[in-house]
Amino acid sequence: MPPTDQQPNTNAQANAAQVMSAAPSVASPVPAAPVTPVYGGDATAVPQPPTPTPTPSPSPEELKKQAMLAMEGEEGRRQRELEEQRKKEAELRAKLEGEKTQLELKLRELLQQKEALELEWIKYNNQETPLETQVQPIIAEEKAAEDEERKVEQDEAVAVSTPGTPVAKIQEVEIKRWTVQERRHHAEEQKWAFQKQIESLKAAKDELGNAYRKILSDEDALKKTIRDAETALANLSIPKAA
């Protein structure tokens, strides 16, 4: 049976359907949701530009200084700087002279303290010197008693060790030894009393000496500081006004 005019069209439609079914499917694009910026905790807040810090207006004194600097000229500037230098050096001189005056007052106080210590030392020394003189005979008496005591002890030892020595003789030597010992003890007690006073005075003089040497050290330091102040004052040369 011969083909009809409808048949070719049918075949073409079938082929086209097969091609469409074999092709991969493409999904339609989905528009992204708009992103809302968040500022702090308020989603609707809009950032504001920083507020500029206002520049402070010059003070009247600053304005006057600007005017002066603009109008004074070279000679005026030189004279002004010279006057400022004079003023600074005058202030420094006054400060140094005030400090020097205070240091000299302290130095005078130290000299008075030194004089007081010297007078106190003289007082103690005047008390010590006669005691030293008075104790010498007592020391001599003590030594003489010690020498005599040793001799009596030897005599007593001979009397006791010699056979037939009368008891009265031995007792006589013993009594003599006791007397000499008593003399020595008395001299010792007197010597100790004097020595105690002498040692007390020596200790007081030693304390005065320590305090005196401390003052000497302070005095040297003060004198050095005063010399430094005098040197600084001498180095100041305040220019004379033109």
> Does residue 205 form part of some domain?
yes
User: Is residue 5, in this structure, part of any structural domain at all?
Assistant: no
pLDDT, tens digit (0-9, with 9 covering 90-100), for 48-101: 777 777 778 878 888 877 777 777 778 777 777 888 888 888 888 888 899 999
Residue 195 has pLDDT above 50, yes or no: yes
Residue 33 lies in a domain: no
Q: Is residue 211 part of a domain?
A: yes
Predicted local confidence at residue 1, as pLDDT: 41
pLDDT computed for residue 21 by the predictor: 47
Residue 166: inside a domain, yes or no? yes
pTM above 0.85, yes or no: no
Say which CATH number the domain at 98 has: 1.20.1270
Domain of residue 111: give its range: 61-235
Asked whether 191 and 121 are in contact (CB, 8 A), the reply is: no
CA within 13 Å, CB half, 129: 6
Instruction: For residue 36, tell me if it sits in a domain.
Output: no
pLDDT digits (tens, 9 = 90+) for 229-242: 889 888 876 544 44
Query: Are 49 and 206 spatial neighbours (Cβ–Cβ below 8 Å)?
Result: no
pLDDT for 146 equals: 95
User: What angle, 0 to 180 degrees and rounded to 10, lies between the N-to-C axes of helices 167-235 and 73-161?
Assistant: 170
Would you tell me how many other CB atoms lie within 10 Å of the CB of residue 152?
A: 19
Q: How far apart are CA 43 and CA 52, in angstroms?
A: 26
**Backbone CA torsion sign across 84, 86, 90, 96:** positive
Specify the pLDDT at position 237. 64
Mean pLDDT, to the nearest integer, of 206-216? 96
Distance from the first to the final alpha carbon of the chain: 142
Closest C-alpha to 159, from 176, 145, 184 = 176
How far, in Å, are 13, 114, 142, 199, 210 from residue 206 at the CA level? Answer: 138, 14, 29, 10, 6
Residue 39, beta-bridge partner list: 42
How large a percentage of the chain has pLDDT more than 90? 50
Q: Which SS3 state, helix, strand or coil, does residue 49 take?
A: coil
- The percent of residues above 70 in pLDDT, for the chain, comes to 78
Residue 231 lies in a domain: yes
- Residue 18 inside a domain? The answer is no
Mean pLDDT of the chain: 81
Retrieve residue 29's tokens.
């694009």
Q: Is residue 150 pLDDT above 90, yes or no?
A: yes
Query: Average pLDDT in the 110-118 region?
Result: 95
For the chain, how many structural domains are there in total? 1
Residue 215 to residues 49, 225, 228, 229: CA-CA distances in angstroms?
Answer: 72, 15, 20, 21
pLDDT digit string (tens) for 22-51? 444 444 444 555 545 545 555 555 667 777
